Amino acid sequence: MREVVIFRRNLFKVSEPFIAQQAQQLRRYRPLYLGRLRHGDQPAGAEAFSFDDLAGRWSRPLAAWQMITRDTRAFERLLGGRRPSLIHAHFGVDGVYALPLARQLGIPLVTTFHGFDALLTTPALMCSPDWAQYRLLRSGLARDGALFICVSAFIRDRVLAIGFPAARTRVHYIGVDCDAIRSREPAEETPTVLHVARLVEFKGTQYLIRAFATATRARTETRLVIIGGGPLEHRLRALARSLGLGERVRFLGARPHAEVCAWMRKAALLVLPSVRTITGRVEALGQVLLEAAASGVPVIGSRDGGIPESVIDGLTGYLVPGRDPDALARRMIELLDDSALRYRMGAAARAHVERNFDIRRQTETLENLYDAVLSN
pLDDT, tens digit, for every residue of 301-317?
999 999 999 999 999 99
- Mind giving me the DSSP string for 5-46? EEE-SEET-TT-HHHHHHHTT-SSEEEEEE-SEE-SPPPTT-
CATH 3.40.50.2000 fits 2-175+358-375, yes or no: yes
* HEC string for 245-280: CHHHEEEEECCCHHHHHHHHHHCCEEEECCCCCCCC
pLDDT at 226: 98
Q: Rounded distance, CA 270 to CA 332, Å?
A: 10
Rounded CA separation 285/266 (Å): 23
pLDDT at residue 53, rounded to an integer: 95
The average confidence (pLDDT) of the chain is: 97
Kindly give the parts of the chain with pLDDT less than 50: none
Which pTM was predicted? 0.96
- The CATH topology of domain 186-356 is Rossmann fold (3.40.50)
pLDDT for res 354: 98
Closest by CA to 110, choosing from 90, 130, 93, is 90
pLDDT computed for residue 84 by the predictor: 98
* Predicted pLDDT of residue 306: 98
Model pLDDT, residue 34:
98
C-alpha to C-alpha distance for 25 and 6, rounded to whole angstroms:
13
Express each pLDDT in 76-95 by its tens digit: 999 999 999 999 999 999 99
Domain with CATH 3.40.50.2000 in the chain: 2-175+358-375, 186-356
Predicted pLDDT at 125 = 97
